[in-house]
Amino acid sequence: QVKKLLEKGCRHIVFDAKETSHLDNIASLSQTRFENILLVGSAGLARSLAQVIAPGGISVKPADRPRLKKWLFVCGSASKVMARQVDRLVQSTGWPQISIEPNVLMADKTSTERKSLLSMLQASSHTGSLILSIASVPDAGLRENPDRLVEELAHMVSAVLSSAAPDALFLSGGDTAEKILQKINGSAILLCEEILPGLMH
């Protein structure tokens, strides 16, 4: 049937799959009977295609995970969900946490509060692992200038990294990671593996 449709000039074919075996059959079309076919669909179809391409599975060498003692965690979101995650991390590791007030981050870099914060962060980062987070604020307040908030956090983290080099830097949030990498002149990210869903190493 598919062959007849292709011979008639059909270029787009839609399948209705109800079972996994149907997805397996669709995946096999592109590998065993027809050429120049681009399959577009669900994760289930991708899984079936992978089984067709490599029936025995693909052997992946585990990524090298060095044992790291001194971490710097930077959690740039002020959401309640992130706050709960940070609390759990602190409870499970016992590592110190510094919750930065947004108004201090937004203050002038020459202000006493800002200088005191930087000094405290630099001193704390020398002693061991450290968790940095932004204190929870009302959504309305955060929406006023979230880009500048992350920008100032990145500036602060860059200054900390220049004085104390941790073994590893953990960045939570795409905007946070982007700004910090820009501040430290990072040119690329090498993805080794996905340790957990959404957590890359």
pLDDT in tens, 46-99: 888 888 877 776 666 666 666 788 899 998 877 778 888 889 989 999 999 988
pLDDT value at position 58? Answer: 62
pLDDT band at 10 (very low <50, low <70, confident <90, very high): confident
DSSP 167: S
13-22, 128-137, 139-148, 184-193: segment of lowest average pLDDT = 139-148
CB 124 within 8 A of CB 98: yes
| Cβ count near 195 (within 10 Å) | 11
Residue 105 token pair: 């981050």
Angle, helices 146-163 vs 112-127, to 10°: value is 50
Question: Does 175 or 43 have the greater pLDDT score?
Answer: 175
Q: What is the pTM of this model?
A: 0.62
Q: Tell me if 74 sits within 8 A of 180, measured CB to CB.
A: yes
Dihedral over alpha carbons 168, 174, 179, 180 (to 10 degrees)? -10
Other CB atoms within 10 Å distance of the CB of residue 43: 7
Which of 107, 120, 194, 193 lies closest to 163 in space, CA to CA?
Answer: 120
